Structure 1
């Protein structure tokens, strides 16, 4: 891309700023306890005059010890009454003077209602700072991406309204709306695309705008979204190439007229690029980013269950490196990755106050609570957050492992959600274990299925069902699901001693392999992802269901001939209830 003198000057200034940000990040790592102490007290002082602050004695808190004595560990249920007051317009319920709530970021909860996170000016600034640190380090490591377009996915910030009239939606929408124009010009898709209701039409529009450009990097939360985008482009290659040639946006997609009008200035006839794309497709026999883009890196989650999606990346991207975007949620950012190819990142100590509970003590009356500099490499912990959104000692239910240290700051990688643990007879299997077991079982039988679900079922004895989408003839699918069930059963016994004990003792029956009709997982995930928000870019497929009966909807996708109970590698018979 040819840059003007003004662009070169601005990029030079950005480079200087990047070096300062990275230097500050490393300096903070050397004095982590001091940085965290100051951050905590700034949160406390800012909201000492709020109703929540008065109820919890913020005015008398002088340090971490006082904070722990005054503020209990809590979940969303405990914060919800205070948040509801803010949603009704009573900002002083949680926040001090001269603070405003710009929106409520919505995320799915463990109940049938969404969770709402108040986004103040400071919280927005903190979120932006975390993304800025991620982007600066990633672009410093991949300088060939600097000044080139990026593909990112944004969702609306105003999908609903609180009783006070404040918008509720995705914080990505707010961030895009206040982004610098100099940065927005590099976004392949403008903010208005987020308001296309139809998912396929939205993905098509993003790729219609992005494919002709010299895209340098893609950033989105879930790798599943990345795969959806590139598969949409490949399955609609003819239409995209024709649209590029003619400077149009196909009428076959359900795109509102107002959004079409807003996109028109970006659509110009480009026969030269269209011919290049057609030549690429003819030569490669496919229509993949590895052929039409020069990507420097991909940014998305890689930890926990995400590895199953990453195995498909080489088919579309070749050997393009992947940079984890960090452990982050609507409630706040917890890590900033510093290298490609690892889910681990530096604990985000500059804008989030972090505490950790050893895995073995979670749920106990008085668990040991550790600070960032008190952790041990190789150990696993659950995280507590305190942020400028008014969340204090918030149990976000994320389990992490410490993989090392940068100065006094731990490098942490996400393993699984704490509520993604199934235990019908005390086996306590985690989603992380299930994903690992399935990956090894699939490799052993040469299966490339990605979407699956393991769900507990009541019987005598209870057992688990492994749902795998059908890929061919019914008999072949039955055999494949049975082999995978046996493999997962064996691997879970290897990974989890309690599971092995329950299986060998007959307290758990063998896993039942079930082939479901193609599209089942996507259909159910689509309903779950949009339960509270039309477009949820942070939605994660759930590989482990934790309650018997939770798979009732999946059972409706099963043909009677596609179920078979196979004797597993471990002993233990089952009598159907």
Structure 2
């Protein structure tokens, strides 16, 4: 029965995706129906009574009567819900609370109900339908995947509700579905230690010659998995050959026993892998899984910077964005491989868009999904079954076209993700575009980067902090810095204007090897889950890189 599950699931996802496609031809009607149904079903919650949701009969009335609200407006209700009070934000019982990573801001608590999780599952199935069809057009088929995310619950609230990262809630509530998709057993995701979990996941996945995909929340995490595969290749092969699990791994005794019960020696596979190391000098995903068809991870924002390093591990294997989502909402699904644009998820929420010229307004006017224009950037608002109404998450998206009558959007940056020496407002999108181009121009690979501002200059100068990938060398640092300056002028006109007379010339700082690993460790120590690791590539926090060794600083 298990062998039949995946083909049946893929057939179902194609039907669900086809239905979604039909809905995109009627975007305005679908969005209106979603909103009015949501208002009717949530009118008797405490928030529903406060804003008299039951009296609202049109989209225009909704926009007129409900204010645009940030997280802080919902926080008191969520805290009371976590303590056990019912019917505050949602009429349905809250079954899980997501604790956001806080890696780029304050941690937030986000409630989930069975209904909101079902809606999220449907969006994931639509995404799988898009992926399956895209692979089929390439003559490939969808199959099992490697996932290394933790599935550990962090604890219970005072009201007895489980809490933890978003992916944990999703996987646990749909465990029977997802365990059919993973090449590694579900128990591998219960390992607490990050290195041990990645090692064990790789151990099982390496024995699946037909693995089709590798997925992780962010590209940086995909690269980390590749690094583990390369670094521990010999140890993994030895365990595969002998049917052992390395004794030096930090594993809970009971969990080690469960995993050892499922683990068997595979000498023939070990021989194949050892031959790869002999011929290639290392293990890479493209070499060890000949059927690998896709990598699933976040696209848009800063992702393109990390994609520069993907070919050394994956060759031309395509990258699929799956869904663009946060703990609060699912915003869109990706219809194609190797493409940053995604289709607005018109069945998961009611969406509004704040045009750029309204961002400073106290009461900004919003546009509906059918009113946005390609080439324009917007702040996106959502109302959904999580109990949020006109919620401003702070994400900036760009509309790049339409899929039938639903917008195609690309995530660009968080609203607060910018730095200014004067008033130029350089965003993460500007920075990522420039650093990606510099890697190509100078044929180098960077481990990571972060733009900061100097402390002793006024106005402050830009500090371009980079760490080179091991074995890489920057031959002409002056030319690199000059090109950074020129490219940022091209990307950000306001920087170009201010650089003429007010902003001092930038400096390049080459950080010691391991610097960004130290930053990631600092995040882990702050309680950020390792599957949610990300950090700003631009920051006005002068102490963000404090304590890191600067090997060389270069000025123009």
Residue segments in structure 2 that go unaligned for 5+ positions in a row:
none
SS at match of 2:84: coil
Are 2:19 and 1:20 aligned? no
State the match for 2:414 in structure 1.
Answer: 417
User: Is it true that 1:205 corresponds to 2:200 in the alignment?
Assistant: yes
Among candidates 342, 345, 349, match of residue 345 of structure 1: 342
Return the offset for 1:252.
1.8
The answer for the alignment partner of 1:190 in structure 2 is 185
Query: Matched residues in 2 for 1:529 and 1:159: separation?
Result: 14
Match of 2:44 among 39, 46, 49: 49
Other-structure match for 2:373? 376
CA distance in 1, matches of 2:294, 2:441: 30
Shift of 1:363: 2.8
Instruction: Please give the residue correspondences for 1:497-536 in structure 2 after superposition, counting only pairs within 5 Å.
Output: 497-505=493-501, 507-528=502-523, 531-535=526-530
> Residue 78 of structure 1 is aligned with which of 66, 73, 84?
73
TM superposition score normalised by structure 1: 0.90
Distance 1:354 1:471, change over 3 A: closer
* C-alpha contact (below 8 Å) 2:150/2:192 kept by paired residues: no
1:504-560 CA distance string (max 9 Å, x none): 11x21111111222111122123225634433x233232111x2xx2424231124x
Q: Structure 1 residues 315 and 196, CA, compared in 2 at 3 Å: closer, same or farther?
A: same
In the alignment, which residue of structure 1 is the partner of 2:535?
541
CA drift at 1:390: 0.9
Asked if 1:463 corresponds to 2:457, the answer is no
Q: Secondary structure at the match of 2:184?
A: coil
Distance, in Å, in 2 between the alignment partners of 1:244 and 1:233 is 13
2:552 aligned with 1:562 = yes
1:90-105 equivalences under 5 Å are: 90-96=85-91, 99-105=92-98
CA displacement, residues 14-53 of structure 1 (integer Å, 9 cap, x when unaligned): 3542332122111110111111111112222222111111
* Residues 323-342 of structure 1: pairs in structure 2 closer than 5 A: 323-342=320-339
Equivalent of residue 221 in structure 2, options 205, 213, 225: 225
Once residues 281 and 452 of structure 1 are traced to their aligned partners in structure 2, the CA distance between those partners, rounded to angstroms, is 31
Partner of 1:575: none
Query: What are the equivalent positions in structure 2 for 1:72-471 lying under 5 Å apart?
Result: 72-96=67-91, 99-109=92-102, 113-143=106-136, 146=141, 148-156=143-151, 158-179=153-174, 181=176, 183-213=178-208, 214-293=210-289, 294-458=291-455, 459-469=457-467
Deviation readout 1:126-163 (Å, 9 max, x if unpaired): 11111111112202322476573211233335213322
Question: Aligned partners of 2:544 and 2:478: how far apart in 1?
Answer: 21
Deviation at 1:383, TM superposition (A): 0.6
The CA RMSD over aligned residues, in Å, is 2.3
Equivalence for 1:570: none
CA contact (8 A) 1:372 1:409 kept: yes
Contact 2:151 2:168 in 1 (8 A): yes
- Identify the residue that residue 573 of structure 1 maps to in structure 2: none
Post-superposition shift, 1:283?
2.1
Indicate the SS of the match to 1:399.
strand
Unaligned runs of 5+ residues in structure 1 are: 568-577
Q: Aligned in 2, Cα 1:128/1:272: closer, same or farther, shift over 3 Å?
A: same
Distance 1:454 1:168, change over 3 A: same
Say if 2:492 is the partner of 1:496: yes
Question: What corresponds to 1:485 in structure 2?
Answer: 481
What secondary structure does 2:96 align onto? strand
The whole-number CA distance in structure 1 between the counterparts of 2:470 and 2:117 is 48
8 Å CA contact 2:304–2:436 kept in 1: the answer is no
Q: For residues 295-354 of structure 1, what are the alpha-carbon distances to aligned partners after superposition, in whole Å with 9 as ceiling and x for unaligned?
A: 111111121210111111111111111111232111111111111111101100011111
- 1:447 deviates by 2.7
Q: Give 3-state SS (helix, strand or coil) of 1:554's partner.
A: coil
Distance change >3 Å, CA 486–CA 12, structure 1 → 2: closer
1:17 and 1:470 map into 2 onto residues whose CA distance is 45
Partners of 1:328 and 1:75 in 2: CA distance? 17
- Report deviation, 1:273: 0.9
The alignment partner of 2:81 has SS state of helix
Distance (whole Å) between structure 1 residues aligned to residue 174 and residue 105 of structure 2: 33
Q: 2: CA distance between counterparts of 1:309 and 1:37?
A: 39
